[in-house]
A and B are shown apart, each in its own frame.
Chain A
Amino acid sequence: MTTFDLTDDTVVVVIGSGAGGGTLSNELAQKGVKVVCLEAGQWLDYTEDFVNDEWTMFGRLTWQDKRTSSGTWQVAKDFPELPAWICKTVGGTTTHWAGVSIRFQEHEFRTKTVYGNIPGANLLDWPLGLNDLAPFYDRAEDKLGVTRTHGIPGLPGNNNFKVMEAGARKLGYKSVHTGYMAINSEPRNGRTSCRQLGFCLQGCRMGAKWSTLHTEIPEAEATSNFELRPNAQVLKIEHSLTGKITAVVYDDGNGNLQRQKARVVCVAGNSIESPRLLLNSASNLFPDGLANSSGQVGQNYMRHTSGAVFGVFEKPVNMYRGTTMAGIIEDEATHDPSRGFVGGYELETVSLGLPFYISFLDPSNWGKEVSWFIDRFDCTAAMSIIGEDMPQMSNRISLHPKHKDQFGLPVPNVHYDDHENDSAMREHAYKQGARIYEAIGAIKVKRAAPLPATHNMGTNRMSAQPQEGVVNKWGQCHDVDNLFVSDGSQFTTGGTENPTLTIVALAIRQAEYLSNQLKKNNI
C-alpha cells in the first residue's frame, strides 16, 4: 500500500470517501495525481460486516455524532437528534443509498429563470447546464453501471413495484418502470448481479450495488497514487497568511491530532459536515468561516420534498422481497405550474422490514390504529415521494452555540422549514400516491411523514457570482483557489432527481479540471 508523509505538501487531500470524495480520489489517482483520502468512519468488509438486519446496520453505517435540529419540519419532532440519515464509514452514504441514478432535467439547472420569482425561495441558476454535464453523466452512468443506459437491461420488477405499476397504469401514467439503477441486472465490470435480497439500504451484501467502498477505493488503491486513512476525522482546515490552504488537522482515531500538509484540499463530507468544517475553520483572515465571504456557507440547505404512502391490501404483497427502490413513476417529474407548485417529483417504490416499518410508519404514535397497520405488514405496499424543494437562506446548517462533540467542536444544528411550494407539492404527491393504490383496491392508505433525509444538498452552493454562492462551476471556492467542494453541498438547486449520479458526474468533471490546473501550475 502506498503511504504519504504527513509533511508531503504535494498531495491533494480529499475529505470523505463517498460518492463525491471516493469518485474524485479515484479519478485523480488514475490521472497520476497523489491523493490522501481522510475518512471519518471505519472500513468495513461488505462480505462479512454487512448483514441483513436493519438495526444492526443502522448502528454500523450511520453518522451518529451529535446533531441538533430546529424549525417547523416534522423530522425535528419525530427525530430531533437525527436530522439526516447519512453514513460514517468508508464509502460514505454510497453504502446505504438505494442506487437510483437519474440525470437532472435541462430546466433544473436554471430554475430562477424558469420558475420566476418565488417569494421566500433563494433560487439561482447553476453556472453550468445540462450540455456541460451530459458527457460526464455519460461517464458516470458507465462507471456505476446504471440500468437502462449503455445497453444495460432494467432490473426485473418485484411485488412492490408490480403493485405500484398496476395502480399507476390505471391512472394513466405512462413512464413507469424499474428505474435507472446502479444495481447490476447482470454481472458487469467485476461486480455480480442482484439476487433480490432486499436490504439495499443496509449495505449490499452481494456487492451488486455500486458503492465507492468496493469500486472506486480499491481501484484507486491499485494505483500507487492513493492512500486511504479510515477513522480520520478532519477537524480544521488551515491556511497561510496569504489565505492559501496549507494543511488539515484530523483526529487519527486513537485520540491523537495529526496535521497533513496539502497542495489542495477537497471537501466531501456531505451537506452537513462540509459546511460545518468550513465554519469550524474560521480564522482571523476568515472570521465567518473559510470561503464564506458570501455568507452562504451552510445556507440553502435542501433535503428534497419527501414523504411516503403506504397502501394496505386484502392479499399479500411482501414488499420487502427484492430490490428496495427499483420502481419509478416519472410522469410528475416535469415542471407544470398548473398543479399549484413549481418543479416536480418522482414516486419511487420503497420497502422496509418489520423493525423499521413501525419506526418510520408513525414513529410517535401508539394504540390500536398503529397495530392495525402492523398486523397487515405483509399485505402492504409502499412508495416514497422525492421532489424538488426550494432553497431558502434560513434553512441552514449552523454551529450550535452550546453543544460540543467528542472533539470539543460545536455540533451542527440543522434548521428547516417547509416552503409553501414544498407543502403544496407534498400534498399533491400524497393524493396521487393514494389514488394509485386505491385504483387497484387498497382497503386503506396511510401517509407517512418525511424521514431523516439521505438526500442533503446545497449548503456550499455553486454560483457564477462570488457574492451569490461559495464555489464556482468547478466546485472551486470563490475565495480560496486551492480549496474545493466535491459533494452534494455544491448543488445550486436540488432538482427532482436522487442526487448521487449528479454528485459523481460533478466529481469526474472536477477531477479533469483540477488535474489540468495542477499540471499548468495554476494552483
Chain B
Amino acid sequence: MSKSGFNRRQFLETSGRTVVGGVATTSVAAMIAPGGAWAAGLTTLDEPTADVLLRVCRVMFPHDKLGDDPYRTCVGGLDMKAAKDDALAKQMKDGAAALDNGGRKFLKKDEAAQVKALTAIEDTPFFKTIHGHVIVALYNNPKVWGHFGYEGPSFPLGGYLERGFDDIDWLPEV
C-alpha cells in the first residue's frame, strides 16, 4: 500500500488560499447531522456515492476509536469540492460505482475484501484524490484531536511551561 502521492496541491488546499479542504472542515461538520445520514449535507454527490466514499475513507485510515462523524466530514469536504468541480464530481461517482463492479457491492464485502479492492485501485486518480483529501481533512479536524491525545493550540493556555512539558514519569533511571 503505497504511492498514492501527496503533493503541493494538498498543502495548498489547506493553506487558506482556497475555500475547500481542511479550512472548511468545521463548517462541513456543522452542516452534516451528527450520527445521521446525509439529509442535511450533500449538495452534489448522490447518497449511494457518498455511502461508498464514507466506507472508503474509513478503510483508508481505520480508527476504531472514531465514530462515523469525522469520516462523514471528509465526505462532506469532497462534496463541497465536487460542487465546484464537475470533473471531480464525475470522478467520485464513477469511481464509487466501479468499486461495485462484478455485481458484488463494495459495501457488502468484508473488510479484508474491501482492502483488497482499494489496493487494486490505489494508483488511480480516484483513489489519490480521496487519499490526498482525507489525509488532511480527517486529522486537521479539531474534533478528532482529543481521541489521539493531541491538545492543539497552546498559546491561548500559556504554553506547556506549567502544564506538563516535562511531566514524563516512566523513564528508566540513567
Chain B contacts of A64 at CB under 8 A?
8, 11-12, 15
Chain A contacts of B144 at CB under 8 A?
354
The complex places the Cα of A157 from the Cα of B171 at a distance, in Å, of: 14
Q: Flag if B63 contacts A79 (CB, 8 Å).
A: no
Q: Flag if A374 contacts B160 (CB, 8 Å).
A: no
Other-chain residue from A196, A364, A378 in contact with B149 (beta carbon distance below 8 A): A378
Q: Which of B1, B139, B168, B172 has the most CB of A within 10 A?
A: B168
The complex places the Cα of A237 from the Cα of B174 at a distance, in Å, of: 58
The complex places the Cα of A51 from the Cα of B155 at a distance, in Å, of: 8
Q: Flag if B160 contacts A197 (CB, 8 Å).
A: yes
Residue-wise, chain A 156-192 has the 8 Å CB interface mask toward B (1 for contact) of: 1111001101100110000000000000000000000
- Whole-angstrom distance between the Cβ of A229 and the nearest chain B Cβ: 23
The complex places the Cα of A194 from the Cα of B12 at a distance, in Å, of: 30
Residue-wise, chain B 147-172 has the 8 Å CB interface mask toward A (1 for contact) of: 01111111110111101111110111
Q: Flag if A322 contacts B12 (CB, 8 Å).
A: no
Other-chain residue from B15, B160, B161 in contact with A55 (beta carbon distance below 8 A): B15
The complex places the Cα of A364 from the Cα of B5 at a distance, in Å, of: 5
A133 within 8 A of B: no
Interface residues in A353-387 by Cβ distance below 8 A to B read 353-355, 357-359, 363-371, 374-375, 377-379
A11 within 8 A of B: no
Chain A contacts of B122 at CB under 8 A?
366
Which residue on chain B has the smallest CB distance to residue A359? B135
Q: Flag if A79 contacts B6 (CB, 8 Å).
A: yes
B120 within 8 A of A: no
Q: Flag if B166 contacts A353 (CB, 8 Å).
A: no
Interface residues in B126-143 by Cβ distance below 8 A to A read 131, 135-136, 139-140
Beyond A354-B148, A368-B62, whether A198 also contacts B7 by CB under 8 A is no
Q: Interface size on B (CB < 8 Å)?
A: 57
Q: Flag if A62 contacts B11 (CB, 8 Å).
A: yes
Which residue on chain B has the smallest CB distance to residue A368? B62
Q: Flag if B155 contacts A378 (CB, 8 Å).
A: no
Q: Flag if B63 contacts A377 (CB, 8 Å).
A: no
Beyond A78-B6, A195-B161, A378-B148, whether A166 also contacts B171 by CB under 8 A is yes
Q: Flag if B7 contacts A52 (CB, 8 Å).
A: no
Other-chain residue from B4, B63, B118, B158 in contact with A374 (beta carbon distance below 8 A): B63
A59 within 8 A of B: yes
Interface residues in A375-430 by Cβ distance below 8 A to B read 375, 377-379
Binds B, one of A313-321, A331-339, A498-506: A313-321
Q: Which of A353, A354, A358 has the most CB of B within 10 A?
A: A354
Residue-wise, chain A 185-216 has the 8 Å CB interface mask toward B (1 for contact) of: 00000000011111100000110000000000
Q: Flag if A195 contacts B11 (CB, 8 Å).
A: no
Q: Interface size class for chain A?
A: 35 or more
- Whole-angstrom distance between the Cβ of A467 and the nearest chain B Cβ: 37
Q: Flag if B8 contacts A367 (CB, 8 Å).
A: no
The complex places the Cα of A322 from the Cα of B39 at a distance, in Å, of: 43
Q: Flag if B15 contacts A80 (CB, 8 Å).
A: no
Residue-wise, chain A 285-311 has the 8 Å CB interface mask toward B (1 for contact) of: 000000000000000000000000000
- Whole-angstrom distance between the Cβ of A411 and the nearest chain B Cβ: 12
Beyond A366-B131, A374-B63, whether A322 also contacts B155 by CB under 8 A is no
The complex places the Cα of A45 from the Cα of B172 at a distance, in Å, of: 43
The complex places the Cα of A86 from the Cα of B158 at a distance, in Å, of: 28
Which residue on chain A has the smallest CB distance to residue B61? A371
B17 within 8 A of A: yes
The complex places the Cα of A317 from the Cα of B148 at a distance, in Å, of: 12
Q: Flag if A162 contacts B166 (CB, 8 Å).
A: yes
B22 within 8 A of A: yes
The complex places the Cα of A377 from the Cα of B150 at a distance, in Å, of: 8
The complex places the Cα of A79 from the Cα of B62 at a distance, in Å, of: 24
Q: Which of B16, B164, B166 has the most CB of A within 10 A?
A: B166
Q: Flag if B63 contacts A59 (CB, 8 Å).
A: no
Other-chain residue from B135, B145, B155, B168 in contact with A197 (beta carbon distance below 8 A): B155
The complex places the Cα of A170 from the Cα of B171 at a distance, in Å, of: 11
Beyond A53-B153, A377-B148, whether A59 also contacts B15 by CB under 8 A is yes
Q: Flag if B153 contacts A363 (CB, 8 Å).
A: no
B108 within 8 A of A: no
- Whole-angstrom distance between the Cβ of B171 and the nearest chain A Cβ: 5
Other-chain residue from B3, B136, B149 in contact with A77 (beta carbon distance below 8 A): B3
Chain B contacts of A379 at CB under 8 A?
149
B104 within 8 A of A: no
The complex places the Cα of A53 from the Cα of B154 at a distance, in Å, of: 10
- Whole-angstrom distance between the Cβ of A32 and the nearest chain B Cβ: 39
Q: 6 closest A-B pairs (Cβ-Cβ)?
A: A59-B15, A378-B149, A195-B159, A52-B153, A81-B8, A322-B165
- Known A157-B166, A197-B159, A316-B168; 15 more pairs at CB < 8 Å: A56-B14, A64-B8, A78-B5, A82-B8, A166-B171, A195-B159, A206-B159, A320-B150, A321-B154, A353-B150, A364-B4, A371-B62, A374-B139, A377-B150, A440-B171
A sample of 20 inter-chain contacts (CB < 8 A) reads A56-B14, A59-B12, A59-B15, A79-B6, A157-B166, A162-B168, A195-B159, A195-B160, A196-B165, A197-B154, A322-B160, A359-B136, A366-B131, A367-B60, A367-B61, A368-B62, A374-B63, A377-B150, A378-B148, A440-B172
Chain A residues close to B by CB (< 8 Å): 51-53, 55-56, 58-60, 62, 64, 77-82, 156-159, 162-163, 165-166, 169-170, 194-199, 205-206, 315-318, 320-322, 353-355, 357-359, 363-371, 374-375, 377-379, 440-441
Chain B residues close to A by CB (< 8 Å): 1-12, 14-17, 22-23, 59-63, 65, 115, 118, 122, 131, 135-136, 139-140, 144-145, 148-156, 158-161, 163-168, 170-172, 174
